[in-house]
Amino acid sequence: MRKFIAYVFVAVMMAGSPAAHAVQPDEIMSDPAKEARARDLSRELRCMVCQNQSIDDSDAPLARDLRLLVRERIATGDSDSQVIDFLVARYGEFVLLKPRFTPHTVLLWLLPPLALIGGGVALWVYNRRRTSAGAAADPALLHLTAEEEARLERLLAAEAPDKKA
């Protein structure tokens, strides 16, 4: 039990701790406002080596180069959109962790909600069919003729002595 509590404690501590960033002290800009912009931008850009991390979180040398490039562009006076456009022109749309909504990416953006809606409709149809099939097989809705009821009674009476034996 103590091991379990220790594991839970460690898990809670790890979940509550802030994410580690790979930004090195020599990369940090002297102007806090520009540094905040650079950090925000670097969280939106994909590390081309790691591919599931932003360049802000990645320790890869290419991610460091991209972080420095972002800071260099900000220092020259580029706006956030100019920095993003520069990197997209240089590395392609893949460099963005959150792709833009363009005609190329419509399917990428619309497929998840369409899949959820389709799944909901499929579950609704399945439930309707199951309910209607269950109502048709409900014994309370079946009516036996007098002849069928008499035969059923004979069968039940014939079975009863066998069960007692």
Q: What is the mean pLDDT of residues 63-76?
A: 90
Same domain, 71 and 132: no
Same domain, 75 and 28: yes
Smallest CA-to-CA distance from 21 within 7, 8, 40, 34 is with 40
Same domain, 63 and 13: yes
Total-model pTM = 0.56
Does residue 100 have a pLDDT over 80? Answer: yes
Q: What is the pLDDT of residue 20?
A: 47
- Out of 64, 81, 100, a domain closes at 100
Does residue 36 have a pLDDT over 80? Answer: yes
pLDDT > 90 in the chain, percent:
26
Give Cα separations from 80 to 21, 33, 34, 44, 146 (angstroms): 20, 13, 10, 11, 85
Q: What is the pLDDT of residue 52?
A: 82
Give the domain range for residue 12.
2-100
Question: What CATH number corresponds to the domain at position 32?
Answer: 1.10.8.640
Same domain, 64 and 115: no
pLDDT > 70 in the chain, percent:
82
Same domain, 94 and 122: no
